[in-house]
Amino acid sequence: MKAIFTVIPMLLLATLIARAEDLQKLSLDDPSVATPKIEADAKVKVEGTNSLKITAQWPTTVCLGEVAGPDIENAKLIYSAKVKTELEGNGIAFLELWAHMDGGQFFSKGINDAVSQKSDWKTIQTPFMFQHGQKPDKITLNLVINGKGTVWIDDVVLSEEPLK
């Protein structure tokens, strides 16, 4: 009787494994097929020697950097950047800030200050308020591209204003 109970689960497992079917395989032999494509652009820029040119085939989030433990408290942190876009359809791009503190992660999305479709250089931003006693361990700065197309980003600034 014990042999029957051992054989049945194995037959069930074999049936489940046999039903698995590959839908698509992605070849990573050619890195140019990966998205987003990120490159320096010396021709389209606001300041310095280059801007960052990001070409996306679908919605994506790009981490631009992290700031470890800024010494702020009871202040408004403002993440701003100059952005230029060539996005298809209803595509938009906006800034996203993540504050890591007290073992949690909290975010601010600049959806109300987004750029869309084809736009020339525009300064966009997103704020984050730190009350008394709130001190971040780390700040993550992202660019969110909700659509397909190209976004240039330059002159990224993280600044602090005292709360009133």
Say what the pTM is. Answer: 0.81
Predicted confidence (pLDDT) per residue in 92-102, tens digit: 999 999 999 98
- Topology of the domain comprising 27-162: Jelly Rolls (2.60.120)
pLDDT of residue 120: 97
φ, ψ at 143 (rounded to 5°): -115, 125
Please answer whether residues 135 and 104 qualify as being in contact, where contact means their C-beta atoms are separated by less than 8 angstroms: no
Mean pLDDT of all residues in 44-53: 93
Peptide bond just before 70 cis, omega within 30 deg: no
Short-list 160, 118, 127, 126, CA closest to 144: 126
pLDDT at 107 (0 to 100): 94
Map out the domains of the chain as residue ranges: 27-162
Count of positions (residues) in the chain = 164
Rg of the chain's alpha carbons, rounded to an integer?
23
pLDDT confidence of residue 86:
97
* 12-29 pLDDT tens trace: 555 556 667 888 877 778
